[in-house]
Structure 1
Amino acid sequence: MWPRIGGLRTLDLGTPGKMRARLNTLVRNGVKTATAGLLDEYADEGEELERVGERLALVDDHDTLVGVVEVTGVEVVRFADVPWDFARSEGEGDRSIEEWRAGHAAYWARVGTPVTDDSRIVCVRFRLVSAGDGGVLGT
């Protein structure tokens, strides 16, 4: 089960360190409005998929609240079928869907969960509703 803060599931992007700090900054600046995860990780953790309208606590390396996002869309697709408009909304600077796929495949391989074209990817879109600590939820 994923950690909770004030009843909200946490959203810990990337790996701890520079990557997570960069991704959190992109979210807080409104550049990153989506994230991709592996469907198998949800089953492994006993978690349900996010649902539209759900709020998630964006956390740093120490599980400290740095913002709150609201889920605006959830879709499960094959890795080979992730659309470019979704990949672009991740805001990580990829210049093409091929670049996005190569970068994400390399990331998941590095963390020990290699993907294939048929791997199921959870594509989560969100909007920032609160930036900063304190857990103030925007509308």
Structure 2
Amino acid sequence: MWPRVNGLRSMELGTPGPIRARLNALALAGRKTATTGLLAEYAEEGESLEQPGERLALTDDGGESVGVIEITGVEVKPFAEVTWEHAHAEGEGDASLEEWRTGHVGYWARLGTRVEDDTPVVCLAFRLVGHGKAT
């Protein structure tokens, strides 16, 4: 089960350390309005998919809220079907869909998960609705 912060499910972007700090900064600046996760992680953690309108606490490495996001879209699809529109909305500076795919495959491989074209992923779109602690 994912941690809760003041009654909200938490959203931990990336992995702890510099990656999470960078992704949180992009989200807090409004440049990151999407993220992609592996569907298998939801089952492993016993979590349901996010729903449009749901608010989540964006958390730092210590589990503290740094902002609140609201889910605006949820799509489950094979990795190969992620669109450039979604990848670009992740705001991480990828110059093309191929660059985004290569980066994500490498990221998940470093975490021990092999991602293929047919691997189910969850594409979340969100908007920032508050900075600081979740209330």
Q: Is the pair's TM-score, using the shorter chain for normalization, greater than 0.5? A: yes
1:13-45 superposed Cα distances (whole Å, 9 cap, x missing partner) = 001000000000000000000000000000111
1:64 and 1:77 map into 2 onto residues whose CA distance is: 31
Partner residue, 2:55: 55
**Residues 58-77 of structure 1 aligned to structure 2 (within 5 Å):** 58-77=58-77
Q: How many aligned positions are there?
A: 135
- Which residue is equivalent to 2:13? 13
Aligned-residue CA RMSD in angstroms? 0.6
Matched to 1:125, the amino acid is: A
Segments of 5+ residues of structure 1 without an aligned counterpart are none
Letter of the 1:81 counterpart: E
Corresponding letter in the other structure for 2:8: L
> What fraction of aligned residue pairs are identical, expressed as a percent?
62
1:62-106 CA-partner distances (Å, limit 9, x unpaired): 001100000000001110110000000000000100000000000
Structure-2 residue corresponding to 1:121: 121
| Unaligned runs of at least 5 residues, structure 2 | none
The residue number in structure 2 matching 1:130 is 130
SS of equivalent to 2:32? coil
State the alpha-carbon separation in 2 of the partners of residues 71 and 60 from structure 1.
Answer: 18
State yes or no: 1:37 paired with 2:43.
no
Q: Which amino acid aligns with 2:83?
A: P
Any runs of at least 4 consecutive aligned residues in structure 1 with deviations exceeding 4 A, and if so which?
A: none
